[in-house]
Amino acid sequence: MAEPVNEIPKEFAEIFAGISRIYKENKNNPDARPFISWITVIKGLLEKDLSGIPIIYTNLGNSPELVLALGDSEGEVAPFGFEAIGATQGFFGSNQCNMDIIDLIEANGLSADVCSADKLALGYMLKKLLPPPVGGVFINTPCDSQIVAAEGFKSIMEVEPFIIDVPYSVGEKELHYVAKQLREQIKYLEQVTGKKLNWDRLKAICEENNRMVELLLEWSDWRKRTPCPQMSKVVTFGFVLLNTLSGTPMGTWYASELLEDAKERALAGKKAVLGEENVRAIWFGDPIWWNLPFYDWMEEELGMVIPMDLFGYVTAEAYIDTSSPDTILYTFARKLTRVMPMSRQLTGSAEMYIDDIISVYNQFNADCVIFPGNTGCKHMWGLLGLVREALRELDIPLLAFEFDLFDPRTKSEEDFKEDFRRFVNDIIIPRKNR
Amino acid sequence: MNKNDIINVFQQVLENPSNSFIEQWISDGGKVMGYYCSLIPPEIFTAAGITPYRIRAAGSDSTDLADVYVSSQLCTFVRHMLNLALGGQFDFLSGIVAMNGCDQARRAYDIWEKKTDIPFKTIISVPRTPANYNIEWFKEELKKLIKAIENHFSVKITPQSLAEAIKFHNTTRRKLAQFNDLRKEPDPPINGYEASIVNIAAQIMPLKDFNDLIDKLLQAVGKEKRTGRYRTRLIVSGGEMDEPEFVKIIEDQGGLVVYEDTCFGARYYEEPVSEEEDPLNSIANRYFYRIPCARMGNSFDRRYENLEKIYREFKAEGIISQILVHCILNSGFSFQLKRKAKTSEISTLLLDRECRMKGYGQMKTRVQAFIESIESKARKEDKYNGRTSK
Ligand code: SF4
Ligand code: SF4
């Protein structure tokens, strides 16, 4: 793979260099097929030439279908999931670069308490490293950091954002309310891009989304098998997939790669862990984006696998009903609020999160739950007590810890390892041997 | 009663979760509705014959009970408030109404809902963008709230009772505005500490009692000596700030606080509800379109414009933006304020604080330094002579 390292800022050169290095390290590893596919997808995204194309920023809780449908042919407007930049740097590039950006934005007055996904996004904007947008569509889920990001976007990029309001809880009435706002959002998008939304193309894009969803649901079923046939770390890409690639052939292709790999491995009797599968854990919060190899360590040293996490969990509510423009908007609203990772679990009362955790725990035949408390995530920190209580009642072991999803300075790799070793060896294994 | 006597009465009202006026109201058979956030219209409770009570962290000195459920990553306002609730200190309430103000307050409502015995509990959803196409939603939420109160308390909230409640609350607002406008004077008869005691008291005692007392206060201040000495005039901005003691620290350093752009401050009494139109529409309009706070999306420009207006009207010389540690939304506001400060004439200090904080050492030093910087700027601009100085 060629690296256009010299033409791009050093921050992005780090990402390309990392992608090439990781690609080389993994390309001959038969266990790494879904990971290699993911690298291919990300590289494709990063190398896309956006010059001359109006760019619309979309935030964490969003999905790109409406933006993709602007104009009469494909690619007239480009959606840009700007918060994914920190994750891409964390996955493939340099943690030091992310840390420098975090320091920069904090030095400019943004509180350390804002979710680091948004600290990074605003920091990259401040450093003028992101492409200039003509507009930005925001949704106020999953959390308050989205409002801060929208305000920051407006003042740094000097572009008026459009914000969808999602109410406290989500039922039918709420979905109609969100759908009504989506109609307003379309007007905004048409105005800032000068392109009309093409409903026929939107229908086709939503059907593409539905193909991807179908593949993901089937994939998820294969991961329910014991032992889990496929590596842990790929589940977490589900979030970027939904947020960035929904409705695109590339998204569908990646979902098919995930499925084929899981199916083939399961049928061949292969498993994710190196030795015995000792522990199946549901990871229900942010991943350690800055240290994905940690998941490999868990599999190798502890025989611990994550069959599903909060970012990879998709339900059938992600299907978009393409019968009419009204059904498209209504079911797209449902996808945004009832499927997008974090938004689904953190909208409404604590039950939304707790019920999901218990359901995923049961569906994936798990032994325990991991509660990763991202420092900036006030939802998670406000939920911990009730989650602990609910799981204790069901006798489900829980490992909770504080960390930062992009910043290794909050909790080091060694501290993580020590916590996990103790949890598995002192709590889970003895319970299983009872 | 002279000014100090009346302020003392209000001060006692603030000391603990309950107060003698509320207790009297309850012993006379009255009911009290707790609510948090200045976007919830207390007019609705008044129309139901229930006294509105703005929940705050009064008198709390620990977060032990709250810490069982929520982490120290949440703001201390929420943790102290929850601690009081879990300790039964809000059990005098007949109900609470929450809203989706911020993530932390929402999570706190989970705990109220599950772990307290307050008989009526509900949460409403207030839009986060004041776009015209969302106001119908807000009205529907208010109607839902009215229905829930009617059903639970077996009362009827009629357009007429709402109209009367609006008048009643507007009367209080007018009196408070008149009272706070005194702070525009070059040498105001009240300082920020006293004013913030009065502003908060209005939100935690029966309005009739409050209105009687503030009438007396308005008469008394005319006869009082002026406050006199100060080095500069400041606006305190931010979110929840229910501690006059915080204002006092600033004033002890010589910065006279002339306005609180906060939830317990001006956001309560500014902008009356229209008495001309359909009462529910008027209520919805006032709360929906008012000067936005940090939880509203795309709100900074309007809020800043308002701040500039106040800054001029109250002849302020600096803004202290106080943020409770861990408050994401108000830290977002401060971030914007800091960006704005680079190109603005207005001196701005961002000040982190904790609710019910005990040691103020570092804060004093920062306030002192800020006041000195304003003074030296004024000296350079040769404006210093005009002020009443030490
Ligand atoms: S981890 Fe929490 S704070 Fe960060 S984006 Fe998700 S919901 Fe928001
Ligand atoms: S201070 Fe901030 S975090 Fe705390 S309740 Fe208010 S808005 Fe929410």
pLDDT of residue B227: 62
Q: Do B332 and A147 touch (CB under 8 A)?
A: yes
Ligand number nearest to the C-alpha of A143: 1
Chain A residues inside the 8 Å CB shell of B125: 167-169
**Would you state the pLDDT for residue B356?**
86
Mean residue pLDDT of chain A comes to 95
Q: Are B325 and B353 in contact (CB under 8 A)?
A: yes
Q: Which atom of ligand 2 is nearest to the CA of B355?
A: 1
* C-beta separation of A215 from A259 below 8 A: yes
Mutate to test the pocket of ligand 2, among B82, B104, B262, B322 (most ligand atoms within 8 A of CB): B104
Closest-CA distance, A59 to chain B, in angstroms, reads: 13
CA of residue B216 relative to chain centroid, distance: 22
Q: How far is the CA of A377 from the centre of ligand 1 (A)?
A: 5
Q: How far is CA B191 from CA A204, B168, B181, B247, in A?
A: 65, 26, 12, 9
Nearest CA to ligand 1 atom 1: A377
Query: Region A114-121: what's the mean pLDDT?
Result: 96
Cα–Cα distance for residue pair B294/B334, rounded to 1 Å: 9
Compute the distance between CA of residue A235 and CA of residue A309 in angstroms, rounded to an integer.
6
Ligand 1: distance of its center to the CA of B237 in Å? 26
Q: Do domains A10-198 and A200-233+240-433 have the same CATH topology?
A: yes
Q: Which residue of B has its CA nearest to A348?
A: B106
SS3 of B175-213: HHHHHHHHHHCCCCCCCHHHHHHHHHHCCCCCHHHHHHH
Which residues partner with B347 through β-bridges? B318
What crossing angle do the helices spanning A172-193 and A325-338 adopt, rounded to 10°? 110
The structure tokens 């700030």 sit at B241
Ligand 1 pocket test: which of A286, A384, A403, A410 has the largest number of ligand atoms within 8 Å of its C-beta?
Answer: A286
> Is the CB of A151 less than 8 angstroms away from the CB of B331?
no
Query: What is the Å distance from ligand 2's center to B240 Cα?
Result: 6
- What pLDDT score does B389 carry? 39
- The predicted structure's pLDDT at residue B134: 97
> How many inter-chain contacts (A to B, CB under 8 Å) are there?
157
- Coil, strand or helix: which one is B283? helix
**A410-431: per-residue pLDDT in tens?**
999 999 999 999 999 999 999 9
DSSP-assigned beta bridge partners for residue B183: none
Across the interface, of B134, B328, B339, the residue whose CB is closest to A111 is: B328
Which pLDDT belongs to residue B382? 67
Measured by CA distance, the residue closest to atom 8 of ligand 1 is A143
Chain B: residue nearest A107 by CA? B335
B1: confidence class by pLDDT, cuts 50, 70, 90: confident
Where residue A3 falls among pLDDT bands split at 50, 70, 90? very low
Question: Domain coordinates of chain B in residue numbers?
Answer: 19-157
Of A87-96, B93-102, B225-234, the one with minimum mean pLDDT is B225-234
CB atoms within 10 A of CB A49: 8
Q: Whose CA is nearest to atom 2 of ligand 1?
A: A377
* Alpha-carbon gap: B320 to the closest alpha carbon of chain A (Å): 14
Distance B80 CA to ligand 2 centre (A): 12
Q: Rounded to two decimals, what is the model's pTM?
A: 0.95
Mutate to test the pocket of ligand 2, among B327, B328, B354 (most ligand atoms within 8 A of CB): B327
Distance CA A228, CA A231 (A): 8
- According to DSSP H, which parts of A48-109 are helical? 65-68, 84-92, 95-107
Contact A157, B116 (CB under 8 A): no
DSSP, res B42: T
* Facing residue for B133 by CB, picked from A147, A180, A350: A180
Q: Is A229 exposed, middle or buried (0-12, 13-18, 19+ CB in 10 A)?
A: buried
Q: What pLDDT does A11 receive?
A: 85
Tracing tokens 């299983």 back to the chain, one arrives at A432
User: Class assignment of domain B19-157?
Assistant: alpha beta
Ligand with smallest separation from the Cα of B262: 2
Q: Among A216-225, A316-325, A329-338, B344-353, where is mean pLDDT lowest?
A: B344-353
Cα B123 to averaged position of ligand 2 atoms, centre (Å): 16
Chain B residues inside the 8 Å CB shell of A346: 103
Closest residue in B to A136 (Cα–Cα): B298
Cα B290 to Cα B75, B100, B287: the distances in Å are 25, 17, 6
Joined together, the tokens standing for residue B179 give 């009272």
CA A31 to chain centre: 22
- Give domain limits for chain A: 10-198, 200-233+240-433
Q: Which CATH architecture fits A200-233+240-433?
A: 3-Layer(aba) Sandwich (3.40)
- Chain B CB contacts of A378 under 8 Å are 73-74, 102-104, 107, 326, 328
User: What's the CATH class of domain A10-198?
Assistant: alpha beta
A187 CB-near residues (< 8 Å, 6+ apart) = none
User: How far does A29 lie from chain B, in Å, by closest CA?
Assistant: 42
Angle at B383 between CA B382 and CA B388, to 5 degrees: 135
Cβ neighbors of A71 (< 8 A, separation 6 or more) are: A77, A193, A195, A196, A198, A201
pLDDT at residue B384 in the model = 54
Element (H, E) at A343: helix A343-346
For the cut 90, the answer to whether the pLDDT of residue B128 exceeds it is yes
Q: Which residues of A touch B328 (CB under 8 A)?
A: 111, 113-115, 143-145, 148, 376, 378
The helix (run of H) or strand (run of E) holding residue B134 is: none
Question: Beta-carbon neighbour count of residue A258 at 10 Å?
Answer: 28
d(CA A84, CA A95): 14
Structure tokens belonging to residue B20: 């003698």
Identify which ligand lies nearest to the alpha carbon of A381. 1
- Which residues, judged by CB distance below 6 Å to any ligand atom, belong to the binding site of ligand 1? A 60, 115, 117, 142-143, 145, 286, 342, 346, 374, 376-377, 379
CA atoms within a 13 Å half-sphere pointing along the CA-CB vector of B193 = 17
Residue nearest to atom 5 of ligand 2 (CA): B105
Q: What's residue A48's pLDDT?
A: 86
Q: Determine the distance in angstroms separating the CA of B298 from the nearest CA of chain A, rounded to an integer.
A: 6
Compute the nearest-CA separation of A176 from chain B (Å). Answer: 11
Nearest-Cα residue of chain A relative to residue B334: A109
Closest atom of ligand 1 to CA, residue A380: 2
Question: pLDDT tens digits, residue range B29-84?
Answer: 999 999 989 999 999 999 999 999 999 999 999 999 999 999 999 999 999 999 99
Predicted local confidence at residue A12, as pLDDT: 86
- Average pLDDT (A102-129) is 95
d(CA A291, CA A283): 15
Q: Both ends of chain A: CA-CA distance in Å?
A: 51
Radius of gyration of chain A (CA): 21
Chain B nearest-CA residue for A152: B336
Residues of B in contact with A164 (CB under 8 A): 129
Contact B326 A378 (CB under 8 A): yes
Residues A244-256, mean pLDDT to the nearest whole number: 97
**Picking from A57-66, B63-72, B260-269, B379-388, which range would have the lowest pLDDT averaged per residue?**
B379-388
Which residues in B lie closer than 8 A to residue A382 (C-beta atoms)?
70-71, 74, 103-104, 106-108, 110
Interacting residues of A123 by C-beta distance below 8 A, sequence separation 6+: A101, A102, A104, A105
CA A93 to centroid of ligand 1, rounded, Å? 22
Task: Determine the number of helices (DSSP H) and then strands (DSSP E) in chain B.
Answer: 16, 8
Task: Collect all residues with Cβ–Cβ distance below 8 Å to A195 and sequence separation of at least 6.
Answer: A54, A70, A71, A76, A77, A189
Gap from CA of A278 to ligand 2 centroid (Å): 43
User: What DSSP string runs through B68-102?
Assistant: TTS-TTS-HHHHHHHHHHHTTTTTT-SEEEEE-SS
User: Do residue B300 and residue A155 have CB atoms under 8 angstroms apart?
Assistant: yes
> Nearest to residue A342, comparing CAs of A329, A328, A356?
A356
Residue with the smallest CA separation from ligand 2 atom 6 is B240
What are the DSSP E strand ranges found in A203-355? 279-283, 304-309
Question: For testing the chain B interface, which of A115, A147, A176 should be mutated: the one with the most B CBs within 10 Å?
Answer: A147
B129 and A165 within 8 Å at the Cβ level: the answer is yes
**Spatial separation of the C-alpha atoms in residues A407 and A99, rounded to whole Å:** 6
Checking if the pLDDT of A280 tops 80, the result is yes
Q: Give the model confidence (pLDDT) of A179-217 as tens digits.
A: 999 999 999 999 999 999 999 999 999 999 999 999 999
Residues of B in contact with A152 (CB under 8 A): 332, 335-336
pLDDT of residue A49: 86
ipTM of the prediction:
0.93
> B124: which 2 tokens?
């409403």
